[in-house]
Structures are given as structure tokens and as C-alpha cells.
Amino acid sequence: MAAEAIVTRPGADGRHPTFCRLCESFCGLVATVEGGRVTAVAPDRDNPHSIGHACVKGIRIADVTNDPDRVLRPLKRVGGPGEFAPVSWAEALDDIAARLRAIRERHGGGALAGYLGNPTAFSTNSFMGFGEFVAAIGAKKLYGAGSQDSNARLTANYMIHGAPVPLAFADLPQCDFLLILGANPMVSNGWMIFDPRWRHDLEAIAARGRVVVVDPRATETARRGEHVAINPDSDAWLLAGMLHVLFAEDRIDRAAVAAVTTGLPDLEQAVRAVPLAAVGAATGIPVDTIAALARDFAGAERAAVYGGLGLCRGRFGTFGSYLASVLNAVTGRYGAPGGVRFGRQLFGGAFAAMAGGYSDNANRVGGVPAIAGKLAAALLPADIEEEGDRIRALIVSAGNPVVSAPGGARLAAALEKLELHVSLDFYVNETNKHAHYVLPTLTFLERADWPLVGMHALMRPFLQYTEAVVPPMGEARDDYAIYAGIARRMGLDAPSLSPRKQALGRFGLLPDPLGQVDRMLRRGPVGDHFGERDGWSRARLRDRPHGVMLDDMPEDRHRWRARVAHPGGRLDLWHPLAAPELARLRAGLSRPAGTLVLIGRRDIRSINSWMHNSDKLVRSQHPTLMIHPEDAAARDIADGDEVRVSNANGAIRVPAEITDGIARGTVSYPHGWGHAGGWQRANATEGRNVNVLLGLGVEWVEWVSGMTLLDCLDVEVTRVATKEAA
């Protein structure tokens, strides 16, 4: 890439270095601008962190920015669902502020709620601005997509570390034995681990050691390593069995482990009471294989367990995630090279404070916990419908829970009962077509940003700041500016949202969220301390648009105990929540005869529900129900036949794909499909919403974490039409 071709002024013709904000990897990108419009996006081969890697979704982001279906003016509901008319920003914000103020005055903060969708976490202004805004208006309830993905992992962190964040993860650059449970990083590029080099790291680990993938499906990752097939929803059994073997064969250095933990005797007593024969029966893995895996893992010099989203989405997601961390702990992996580490952080514990903690019995309608300050989305419909301190006003940031959460039809009906429903989004989707207002926000090509959620947990120390590639299209606005506009009209003085602070921030005197991060960075271990030393700041990073590796950042693995919130920095190996979870696991769950177990899967071209309007991404996607040949034969199903997947909650009709790459007794279908919003291409896709098979209520929520039970559903599969007839 020619140096003279690089530009950073928003909208200028040329090639703009930036970074992707679809997931935790933050891969470097280069966007080409011609005539003020983004015409191409490609991996940034000069980005020293992602070293030229980017997935197909990131390089198709211009399809969203330039989408003719995109919302570019504020929309006001004028009729039934999906019936909107454009209005001015002034009219929209005036009315929203007046309604919020009136609802709060009549009913208090319990009537006000927010919902954070996944993309909110990857926008500094949205993530920080939303938190400030809901606090400023006095909203008492906050829901989020975390109960569809991260709650189990965050609760497990709380149990062993004492707080949901910071995250601890496998030290991939130095690991030589990686045990992967419920993850497919060759497709997902990882989850809750900030590493754009997964493909390179997996290849390097396999070359010098072993990569063992435990999964019901022969995933793209499993096919590149050693695959151990397992029955769905039995990872916690496997981990308990491995721990049993290690204690029974005296392969744990009890003195060394006891020096940095609590609960070791209770853990040993609990797992040694789990019969290995029961573990084998539950997992479908021979006991000899389980024992050999335990011995090999404990005997490896540099080893780590990595648990992904698949580990979290069943009935025992939290306990499985917890035992994965416990296995790392008792084999001495915390702080050890190639083991488990807390990522290096650029501004101390500030992010942990922003992220929130664990609060049990927080939801009024279900009594389930709030994790990182967020309630369980499966209970949102009841919180709107049930009298008492019910939700009357809902602000949704980049979310589509009608598709992503259970009970979409009931939630859609409940949304119609709100006195105010405001959505900040790019599109009219299946959720916000029920809103009173849809307010247009910016794609990541239109906004300046930091990789905020990655700056507290870096595997390889890296830093980048990006300017916007192009100015906002139409009348789209930054989320933070929208919140500030509402707050100003309500006469509120939020931490950064007051009119005075907004004005000063424009002159660099007081920070907006981007400026707040700059100040935290400058005060941190690699910052310039406001000119007192050589270091980094936003101003200096503007001259390094591809980002910088912080190779001189001090190694801190020996200080890992300082990141543990439990007293004395000790890992809790048998938290009070663990015993009832083990009892629940051992009680077993009978499965109805003749049913199959439904699990999800990733597709490299798809991310949840919101990029299905890109023709280049979806035209080659044909979601299918993967089914084992023996299960298909028993049901007279041929490849390509239309099948009905059903349970007591609902049914979908989808094409079958017969493959021996999935365990017998298991079927798989991806999530995020089934569109009926204001996006024409998405509406025309072939996928169906698998979440119609989910139930609502506390019985469909993991009690310990508020996690929705999205996977491992018992379903019946029957043929309804042959491939030719379908």
C-alpha cells in the first residue's frame, strides 16, 4: 500500500485505515472512498495486530452503510406495526423527552427500561453513552443480549474470580495443548478473547503440540485438530469426570493449589463422588478416553482450557464454564506461560467498574440474577405485561430481541402495550417495527472510535484509534448525540450529557466518551501522563492510523492475583453456587423417547440477525437442519427434504442436510433467521427463526445466571415433503 494513498480526513477520497467493530477481534480494515462514498473494504495488511486478517462480514460492512433499506431519517409510528413517517429530529426528541418525563413522574424509575443489543458493546459512544443516559433518566431496569450469550461465562467468572470481569483466557501465543469446549474459532474468530490471529495461533499450537476440540459436531475447528465427539449439554459432566481422575490419581499439587485458592477440599470431595461410569454415560465418551484426556492435559507443560459460547447455552452453561476455569486452576495454569492469563489492561479497573457486577434475585417477575447490570431477556415480556412496577417505556440500542430472544410473538405483542418504545438502529427490524420512534444511528464507517471492550484485556498489547471514514449518511446521528439531545430536553445533568459539558467537550475542555477513554489511556501504564513522559494519547495515535503494538508494555502475568476480586486474590474452587448446580447436574434430565437434541452453529457469513440484508453475504447461505444419516434413515428423510422441527412451543419447516459430521441423536440449525422487518433482502432469505421452539418464563432461564436456554432442546423431526416436492 502506497503511503501517499492513506488518508484519515472523513470523506476524503483515498484509502482509510480503520478497524472492524463486529466482534472482539477488532481486525484492521482499509476502506476505499471515492466521491465521498465507501466503494470497497479490505483487510489492512499493515495493521500489526491482525496482520492482514479480516472475515468476510467485516469487509462487507459498506453494504450496510450504503444500504437503500437503511433508516436515514427519524421515523415516527403513524399506524400499525411497521407503519412510519419521517419527522424532524427536533420533533422526535421533543416528544420522546416529554413522554419519558411524564412516565417517570407518574410511575417512577421502575417504569423505565433499556435494552442493549450486542453491537452496542463495540461502539464507545453507544456503550458509555447509553449507561450514562439510563442512569440520568432514572431507569431502574436494564435488559440485554448478554442473557443470550455471555451471562453464563460472566457468572462463572464471578464465582471463581469474584467479579464478572476482567476476563481470563488462554495464552494462545505460548500454549502447546489447547482444549476447546463448545467453540468454533475457525468460523467465529473466538469469543470473549481479544485475538484476531486465531487461525495463525491454532495452526502454531497444533504444529508444536495438540489442539483437542470437544463438540457434538465435527466443526471447521474440530476438523483441523483432534475431535472428541460429545453428547450435547454434557460438558459439565466431562469436566467433573476429568477432575475426578486428577484427584483420584493424585495428579494435583495440592499444596501449590491451596496456596492460591479456597475450597480445594470441598471440590475434591464433590468431584470424587461423581462416578466415572455416569460421566461416560452422560457424555457418550468412553471412560478410558476421558481419563487419558485428563492425564494428557495435566501432564502438558503449557496447557489451557478454552470454553466458547456453545459451552454456555445449555442447561448447565454456568457450571460447565466454572468447571473449565476450575480445571485450569487446579492444574496450575493461572499466570503460567501458555496457560491462563488476565489480559493486559490500558486503564486499570475502569472497565470492570463500567461493566457492573452480579446481583441475585434482581428481576421482579422471575427472581433471577442481574449479570453485569443486565436482566434476563426471556422475562422482558412479563415485565411489560404484569401489573405492578411494570415497564412502560423502553429504549432499545441496536437490539432485535423479537428474533434473538425466546417468545418473539409474545414479546411483539407486549411491545404494543408500551407507552413509549424508542429504538436506535440502522434498520426497521422485527422488534422496532413495534416502536413509536426509530432513530437512525451510524455504522462503524461513519464514526470515530476506540476498541474499548478490548482495552481492558489484551492478549497482545495493541492500541488503535480511528477517525470516521465518511461523514454520516442522510440525517443519521451518533448514539451519544441522540442521548444528549434527549437529556438536554429533559433538563438532566448526566456525567457527560449536560448542555454545558457538551459544549465544553467540543473545545476539548471536558470529554465526551471518546475523550474520556483518551484521558483514561493517558493516565494508564502506556499513556503520556498529559505530557509528563513519553507515551500514548489520541493525538499521537492519529499519526499511526494502522495502530501500534505495545511491545514494551510490562508483562504482568506474575501479578494475576491482583486481578482476582475474592479476598486475598484467591480463586474460589467451590463457590456456594456450585453445590446446587452439581446436584442439579447429577439429578439428570430425562429426554422424551424419539426426540433429537437441537443445537445451534455459526456461519462465517452471518452475525446474529443484523447483516442479512447484504446480498453478497446471504445469497450463498441456505440454512439447513444438519442430521446424522442414521437419524435421517429412521425418519425416512433424504438429503434436501423439507422437515418439520417441533416441540410443545412451536415448529419450523426447513431443509434437511444429512451429514456424518454431527453426532447421532443431535441436529443443528443456526440462529438469527426468520425476518419480517423493513429489510427487503433479509425478508426474502430462506432461514427460519429457531427461537420459536423456546419457551418463556423462569423454567427457560438458568436460575444461577439468567441465561436463556437457547441450545440442547428436545425436538421431534419429521419429513413433510421430498426435495422435489419442496
Compute the average pLDDT of residues 445-464.
92
Residue 492: per-residue pLDDT? 86
Angle at 72 between CA 495 and CA 493, to 5 degrees: 15
Q: How far apart are CA 117 and CA 433, in angstroms?
A: 16
Would you state the cell numbers that stand for residue 570, as one nine-digit string?
484467591
Q: CB-based contacts of 79: which residues, under 8 Å, 6+ apart?
A: none
For residues 339 and 464, membership in a common domain is answered with no
What is the share, in percent, of the chain residues with pLDDT greater than 90?
77
Identify the domain containing residue 698 by its residue range: 590-721
Helix-then-strand count for the chain, H and E: 25, 28
The answer to whether residue 501 scores a pLDDT higher than 70 is no
Query: Domain holding 715: CATH number?
Result: 2.40.40.20
The answer to whether residue 92 scores a pLDDT higher than 70 is yes
- Ramachandran angles phi, psi of 31, nearest 5°: -105, 130
Q: How far apart are CA 480 and CA 368, in angstroms?
A: 31
Residue 606: per-residue pLDDT? 85
Residue 507: per-residue pLDDT? 46
Q: How far apart are CA 86 and CA 71, in angstroms?
A: 10
The answer to whether residue 716 scores a pLDDT higher than 60 is yes
Bridge partners, 294 (sequence order): none
Residue 278: per-residue pLDDT? 96
- Is 131 within the bounds of a domain? no
**41 neighbors 33 (Cβ within 8 angstroms):** no
**235 neighbors 320 (Cβ within 8 angstroms):** yes
Residue 192: per-residue pLDDT? 87
Residue 509: per-residue pLDDT? 43
**621 neighbors 685 (Cβ within 8 angstroms):** yes
For residues 662 and 565, membership in a common domain is answered with no
Q: Model confidence at 559, in pLDDT bands (50, 70, 90)?
A: confident
Residue 64: per-residue pLDDT? 95
- Is 84 within the bounds of a domain? no
For residues 694 and 648, membership in a common domain is answered with yes
Would you state the cell numbers that stand for residue 348, as one nine-digit string?
486499570
Q: CB-based contacts of 590: which residues, under 8 Å, 6+ apart?
A: none
Burial class of residue 467, CB neighbours in 10 A (0-12, 13-18, 19+): middle
For residues 235 and 340, membership in a common domain is answered with yes
- Is 471 within the bounds of a domain? yes
Would you state the cell numbers that stand for residue 252, as one nine-digit string?
494435583
Burial class of residue 410, CB neighbours in 10 A (0-12, 13-18, 19+): middle
**HEC states along 541-610?**
HCCCCCCEECCCCCCCHHHHHHHCCCHHHCEECCCCCHHHHHHHHHHCCCCCCCCEEEECCCCCCCCCCC
Would you state the cell numbers that stand for residue 375, as one nine-digit string?
436482566
Indicate the length of the chain as a whole number: 726
For residues 304 and 180, membership in a common domain is answered with yes
Q: How confident is the prediction for the chain on average, in pLDDT?
A: 92
Q: How far apart are CA 523 and CA 618, in angstroms?
A: 45
The answer to whether residue 510 scores a pLDDT higher than 50 is no
Would you state the cell numbers that stand for residue 630, as one nine-digit string?
442414521
Higher confidence at residue 499 or residue 627?
627
For residues 184 and 286, membership in a common domain is answered with yes
The answer to whether residue 450 scores a pLDDT higher than 80 is yes
The answer to whether residue 725 scores a pLDDT higher than 80 is no
- Is 333 within the bounds of a domain? yes
CA 300 from chain centre, in angstroms, equals 30
- Residue at a domain's end among 528, 549, 570: 549
Tell which residue, 29, 15, 37, has the closest CA to residue 58.
29
- Is 149 within the bounds of a domain? no
For residues 318 and 220, membership in a common domain is answered with yes
Q: What is the DSSP string of 699-711?
A: GGB-TTT--B--S
Detail the DSSP E strand segments found in 223-364.
Answer: 226-229, 261-262, 303-307, 340-342, 358-359
Compute the average pLDDT of residues 646-661.
96
Query: Domain holding 454: CATH number?
Result: 2.20.25.90
For residues 473 and 619, membership in a common domain is answered with no
- Is 180 within the bounds of a domain? yes
Write the pLDDT tens digit of every residue in 163-194.
998 889 999 999 999 999 999 999 998 888 88
Q: Model confidence at 458, in pLDDT bands (50, 70, 90)?
A: confident
Residue 2: per-residue pLDDT? 42
The answer to whether the Cα torsion of 523, 525, 527, 530 is positive or negative is positive
Question: Is the bond preceding 166 in cis, omega lying within 30 degrees of 0?
Answer: yes
Compute the average pLDDT of residues 566-571.
97
Q: Model confidence at 357, in pLDDT bands (50, 70, 90)?
A: confident
Inter-axis angle of helices 235-248 and 578-587, to 10 degrees? 110
Residue 431: per-residue pLDDT? 96
**682 neighbors 592 (Cβ within 8 angstroms):** no
- Strands 168-170 and 340-342 turn out to be antiparallel
The answer to whether residue 493 scores a pLDDT higher than 70 is no
The answer to whether residue 701 scores a pLDDT higher than 70 is yes
Write the pLDDT tens digit of every residue in 142-154.
999 999 989 999 9
Q: Model confidence at 499, in pLDDT bands (50, 70, 90)?
A: low
Q: How far apart are CA 547 and CA 540, in angstroms?
A: 11
Residue 1: per-residue pLDDT? 40
Residue 503: per-residue pLDDT? 54
The answer to whether residue 43 scores a pLDDT higher than 80 is yes
Residue 459: per-residue pLDDT? 87
Residue 257: per-residue pLDDT? 98
CA 660 from chain centre, in angstroms, equals 29
Q: What is the reported pTM?
A: 0.95
Residue 292: per-residue pLDDT? 99
**24 neighbors 15 (Cβ within 8 angstroms):** no
**352 neighbors 165 (Cβ within 8 angstroms):** yes
Burial class of residue 588, CB neighbours in 10 A (0-12, 13-18, 19+): exposed
Residue 556: per-residue pLDDT? 67
197-211, 305-319, 490-504: least confident range? 490-504
Would you state the cell numbers that stand for residue 141, as one nine-digit string?
431496569
Detail the DSSP E strand segments found in 354-481.
Answer: 358-359, 370-371, 393-397, 420-425, 437-440, 462-463
Would you state the cell numbers that stand for residue 702, as one nine-digit string?
438458568
Residue 349: per-residue pLDDT? 66
**639 neighbors 656 (Cβ within 8 angstroms):** yes
For residues 334 and 261, membership in a common domain is answered with yes
Write the pLDDT tens digit of every residue in 367-420.
889 998 899 999 999 999 999 999 999 999 999 999 999 889 999 999 999 999
- Is 124 within the bounds of a domain? no
Residue 3: per-residue pLDDT? 43
Q: What's the distance, Cα to Cα, between the start and end of the chain in Å?
A: 50
Write the pLDDT tens digit of every residue in 111-128.
999 999 999 999 999 999
SS3 category, 298: helix
For residues 681 and 711, membership in a common domain is answered with yes
For residues 531 and 569, membership in a common domain is answered with no
Q: Model confidence at 362, in pLDDT bands (50, 70, 90)?
A: confident
Overall domain count for the chain: 3
Half-sphere exposure of 623 (CA within 13 A, CB side): 28
Compute the average pLDDT of residues 204-209.
97
- Is 204 within the bounds of a domain? yes
SS3 category, 441: coil
For residues 603 and 538, membership in a common domain is answered with no
